[in-house]
Amino acid sequence: MIEYLLVFLGAAIPWLEIALVIPLGIVSGLSPFWVMVTAFTGNLLTVLLVIIGFQKVKEWVENRRQKSKKEPSKRTERGKRIWNKYGMPGVALLGPFVIGTHISAFIGLLFGAKKANVTFWMVISIALWTLVFGILTAMGFDFFVVRNI
């Protein structure tokens, strides 16, 4: 049971997220189904918290940026390029590889997308990538185990 809690927490932490946690959980011998459900839930929960708390986070980031007079980060610049080219669907679907799901949601909101639109695309993205990472890892892991026996 503690292993699934670690999967949940790992998926909830920005930059670890589902792309790393799902393969690690499955390869370590946990049930692919429960790893995928737990990772999806952990990642989505924290992304929804970002969406819900966007205004407070935006104010915090702006205050921090004004105090330090920093330029936007490389992640933000990458997000802006993706946004300009693909809009919210592109930011959400490419997010796990390029900037992370949490930053994807934040960038979508920052560039003016509505919370409902961001939520819709983030749920689709997290669900899709959960299935991709989970199924491919499970198939690859089964293939690897069968080949070595």
pLDDT score of 134: 94
Strand ranges (E), the chain: none
- Taking only the tens place, the pLDDT of each residue in 25-69 is 999 999 999 999 999 999 999 999 999 998 887 788 778 777 766
| Distance (Å, whole) CA 84 – CA 139 | 36
Contacts of 58 (CB under 8 A, 6+ apart): 106, 109, 110
- Would you report the helix, strand and coil content of the chain in percent, each value rounded to 5? 85, 0, 15
* Of residues 99, 82, 91, the one with CA closest to residue 122: 91
Give the 3-state secondary structure of residue 45: helix
- Give the chain's mean pLDDT: 86
> Which amino acid is residue 119, in one-letter code?
T
- Taking only the tens place, the pLDDT of each residue in 97-148 is 788 899 899 889 988 899 999 999 999 999 999 999 999 999 886 554 445 4
The answer to pTM > 0.75 is yes
